[in-house]
Homo-oligomer: A and B are copies of this chain.
């Protein structure tokens, strides 16, 4: 199975599982529930669930359980996108080829929808522990680690730095790496670790997968910066060059397009080296790593 096929398969499974998760009738909360589901079901590559599932697979674990936890990560990722697009943040009109959540539902409902998805993701992570489908000790570890990854020294802190650097109009490469690692890489690393934790991976395997995640997390952002310059708007689903227009400092900006691509390639090599000792069960994970970097070529 090619990685493209694997991603399509997982995207369909994520869509299906997310429909199950969100099946409850909205009652009087129809507007904000619709706002929550608007971007959640607008496609997307479902990279985080894919990494979670492929990591569980690499460690010989239950991929169906990893699908549920992957959906929680996708809900978290969607929360960050809804909030990043708000007028108070990047003020973006377009996401995944559609008008952004706040454009359709207003700033207040979009802000609430983002927090609603974040909160719901935790219920999705906790519930299998309550119902005996996962060891509660593993569920609380996943919840604690994920919280740390997306909190003030993670995704949220990275976005805070992004806003500060954008206001300031410049950032050093070191600052950029710090910000991107927090904003993007830490949730990707959490996706990989969560899959491994569900599979009861040992500490050595966890450490190797963490290194893999660190490299891929950074490569992901470098590739995104390249795509921001080179991609079609239709393909990207958001305005091309938006980062540059907003005065954001990007890797493409600092290293040049070729330099950024070479850096992403180097990170891919380092990522694959970190999991060289894994057997063929890790091939989907390897394929995802290549996909993440090669979409910028």
Contact = CB atoms under 8 A, between A and B. Distances in A.
Contacts of A290: none
A163 interface: yes
Nearest to A178: B28
Interface in A139-165: 139-141, 143-144, 147-148, 150-153, 156-157, 159-161, 163-164
Interface stretch (A49-57, A129-137, A223-231, A246-254): A129-137
A116 interface: yes
Nearest to A151: B119
A232 interface: no
Given A147-B126, A151-B116, A161-B29, A111 B86 contact: yes
Interface string A97-126: 000000000111101101110111011011
Contacts of A153: 27, 29
Contact of A160 (B29, B150, B151, B178): B29
Contacts of A139: 136, 140
Nearest to A90: B108
A156 B137 CA distance: 28
A192 interface: no
Contacts of A83: 111-112, 115
A172 to B, nearest CB: 12
Interface in A177-195: 178
A129 B140 contact: yes
A215 interface: no
Given A108-B163, A140-B139, A156 B32 contact: yes
7 contacts: A28-B178, A29-B157, A112-B163, A122-B144, A123-B143, A123-B148, A127-B144
Given A29-B157, A116-B156, A130-B141, 13 more contacts: A28-B175, A28-B178, A29-B152, A33-B152, A115-B156, A119-B152, A123-B151, A126-B140, A126-B143, A130-B137, A130-B140, A135-B136, A140-B143
Interface residues of A, number: 56
Nearest to A152: B116
A159 B126 contact: no
Given A29-B160, A178-B28, A123 B108 contact: no
A109 B88 CA distance: 9
A29 to B, nearest CB: 4
A36 interface: yes
A51 to B, nearest CB: 20
A89 interface: yes
